[in-house]
Chain A
Amino acid sequence: MSSFLTSSFMSNIFGGLAQGVIYSLVALSLVIIWQSTHVLNFAQGAMAMFATYVGMTQIDRGLSYWWCVILSVVVGMAFGGITERVLIRPLYGKPEINPIVVMVGFLGVIEAVTTAIWTSTSRNIAAPFSQIYFKAGGKLVLLSPFIIFQIILAVVIMMLVAALFRFTRLGLQLRASALAPEVARLLGVRVNRMLTIGWMLSAGVGSIAAVILASGSFGLFPTNMDGVFVAGFIAAAVGGLDSPVGAIAGGLIIGLTEQFVLAYWSPSVAPLGGMIVLVAVLMIRPHGIFTRSVSRRV
């Protein structure tokens, strides 16, 4: 057993999962926004990064790590809601490229403002978990308390989001607003409010990804979510932009693929692994692995 855990194969599984859950969170956040408002939010990563700066730097003022995490999520949610209200709402019903262009521009603005406030120096906000790898039978297992925390936190967040959508009144209204906005309004659902809440939820999920990234060895800097965003985007496309389950699976697939490419080929081409998976999947299933019906919306 212990030799199995310390095998290079298992190390790569652990590494891939740890990275994959971050991609899953980002992909999930993209899917929530895509489903409700049909916007591809290119500023998703940057918004989460900004919220994490606001929240996690409060540790300098003596706030505990956990309060900083909660603050980051709250700030992220507020940021998401305000963004939908101010930047996106005026663009509904206009060409679909408009919100995309706006959010790409917004990405640049957020990163510039962040650099202006906090400089571009990377910093690390250590989680209260050791990052030292476990050992089994004298050999390293590529798992640390921090990595276990990271995986558990991500899974708990995903389960909470799934439960919210599936079992609550709010979740039902969110789903109805995304699936059939006009019918939902005829049934008295305040669809505009649901769109704002969708953006808030999405941004909250994204913030968790950024918090995990900032708490680990990767650190926090103004562009720290850029690569993660691209991988999360690929993960969402692989799983199917219409499928939250697909987003989560897509994230794990991309995380594991990158890890194995990195280990058996070369670290410099790791992102290529994700691209190869994407191209292969899109050739076989153009709408992603988990999309149920093909272009249901008109």
Chain B
Amino acid sequence: MIRVSDLSVNYGAIRALRNVSFEATPGKITAVLGANGAGKTTLLRAISGLVTPQTGTILLGEQSLARVATENIARMGVAHVPEGRGVIEELTVEENLRLGALASKVNISEGIEAQYAQFPVLGDRRRKYCGTLSGGERQMLAMARALIARPKVLLLDEPSLGLAPQVTAELMKTILSACESENLTVILVEQNAKSALRISHDAVVLHLGAVVASGSAAEVAADEDLRRYYLGLVEE
């Protein structure tokens, strides 16, 4: 469970997050939606300790993440697939996976085999350098690398970016099944509100750094104003 209360982040004069509060619960996907510059990435970076908030608290279960170093937040079970996926191109598929498992207690080779079973394409490409992978394959690798450490929380920053609709649909299915089978707390940042809302349980809408709506995904998806003014979902 992740509980964010009254979180504000400034970059100099830019107020990227303004008093943001919300909760994400285990076994559920919480979508964080909003336009470019809404503060979605900043929110995930604050949770992972990559930016220091001006105000507010972030709790992982009962534990405060304030002043905890990024690598320790990761070791506490928060997996973060960053914007652009963060696949290390100069390493092979297998090395990327191995890296994902190193800091955790899982058996590395068993973990890797389990991911290959889940994502057979990765098994076929295990010795390939990641610079040669397609966008979809990279996203799969990023997911596998995050899941291999058996995290409690999964933060995903625009995983569908640059993927074909077909591939996006597959990916969303994978996210949902991982969430349910591992009882993961998933925070899914997306500009692609339609795909995200389809699999999410809860949703938070950010606009210029502030929460303008939150509730069940169904409620958010049904709200005409939200759809029209914040999510760009109203077809002409």
**Chain A residues packing against B (C-beta within 8 Å):** 169, 172-173, 175-176, 179-180, 182-191, 292
Give the residues in chain B near A187, CB-CB below 8 Å.
Answer: 74, 99-100, 102-103, 145, 149
Chain B's interface size range is 20 to 34
Determine whether the beta carbon of A172 is less than 8 Å from that of B70. Answer: no
Give the residues in chain A near B48, CB-CB below 8 Å.
Answer: 186
Please, how many angstroms separate the alpha-carbon atoms of A137 and B176 in the complex? 79
Nearest CB of B to A89, in Å: 14
Please, how many angstroms separate the alpha-carbon atoms of A169 and B104 in the complex? 13
Chain B, interface SS category: mixed
Nearest CB of A to B141, in Å: 12
Instruction: Given A179-B90, A179-B91, answer yes or no on A189-B102 (Cβ-Cβ < 8 Å).
Output: yes
Give the residues in chain B near A188, CB-CB below 8 Å.
Answer: 71-72, 74-75, 102-104, 149
Nearest CB of A to B187, in Å: 14
Give the residues in chain B near A292, CB-CB below 8 Å.
Answer: 90
Please, how many angstroms separate the alpha-carbon atoms of A165 and B75 in the complex? 23
Give the residues in chain A near B104, CB-CB below 8 Å.
Answer: 188
Determine whether the beta carbon of A173 is less than 8 Å from that of B102. Answer: yes
B126 CB-CB contact with A under 8 Å: no
**Residue on B nearest A186 in the bound complex, by CB:** B80
Produce 1/0 per residue, B193-229, CB < 8 A to A.
0000000000000000000000000000000000000
Within 8 A of A (CB), among B75-105: 75, 79-80, 82, 86, 88, 90-91, 95, 98-100, 102-104
Could you count the A-B residue pairs with CB atoms below 8 Å apart for me: how many are there?
Answer: 62
Within 8 A of A (CB), among B3-60: 48, 50
Determine whether the beta carbon of A183 is less than 8 Å from that of B71. Answer: no
Please, how many angstroms separate the alpha-carbon atoms of A184 and B95 in the complex? 12
Please, how many angstroms separate the alpha-carbon atoms of A220 and B48 in the complex? 50
Nearest CB of B to A182, in Å: 7
Please, how many angstroms separate the alpha-carbon atoms of A185 and B49 in the complex? 10
Other A-B pairs beyond A185-B69, A186-B48, A188-B75, 13, CB < 8 Å: A173-B99, A175-B95, A180-B86, A180-B88, A182-B50, A182-B86, A183-B86, A186-B80, A187-B103, A187-B145, A188-B102, A189-B71, A292-B90
Please, how many angstroms separate the alpha-carbon atoms of A172 and B236 in the complex? 52
Please, how many angstroms separate the alpha-carbon atoms of A187 and B104 in the complex? 9
**Chain B residues packing against A (C-beta within 8 Å):** 48, 50, 69-72, 74-75, 79-80, 82, 86, 88, 90-91, 95, 98-100, 102-104, 145, 149
Contact with B71, one of A172, A175, A179, A185 (Cβ below 8 angstroms): A185
Contact with A182, one of B69, B79, B82, B149 (Cβ below 8 angstroms): B82
Give the residues in chain B near A175, CB-CB below 8 Å.
Answer: 90-91, 95
Instruction: Given A169-B102, A172-B98, A173-B99, answer yes or no on A186-B88 (Cβ-Cβ < 8 Å).
Output: no
Determine whether the beta carbon of B82 is less than 8 Å from that of A183. Answer: yes
Give the residues in chain B near A169, CB-CB below 8 Å.
Answer: 98, 102
Pairs across A and B, CB under 8 Å, 27 listed: A169-B98, A169-B102, A172-B91, A173-B99, A173-B102, A175-B95, A176-B88, A176-B91, A176-B99, A183-B86, A184-B99, A185-B50, A185-B69, A185-B70, A185-B71, A186-B74, A186-B79, A186-B82, A187-B99, A187-B100, A187-B145, A188-B74, A188-B104, A189-B102, A189-B103, A190-B71, A292-B90
Closest 3 CB pairs of A and B: A188-B103, A188-B74, A183-B86
Determine whether the beta carbon of B88 is less than 8 Å from that of A183. Answer: yes
Please, how many angstroms separate the alpha-carbon atoms of A175 and B88 in the complex? 10
Nearest CB of A to B129, in Å: 10
Give the residues in chain B near A182, CB-CB below 8 Å.
Answer: 50, 82, 86
Give the residues in chain B near A186, CB-CB below 8 Å.
Answer: 48, 50, 70, 74, 79-80, 82, 86
Please, how many angstroms separate the alpha-carbon atoms of A190 and B70 in the complex? 9
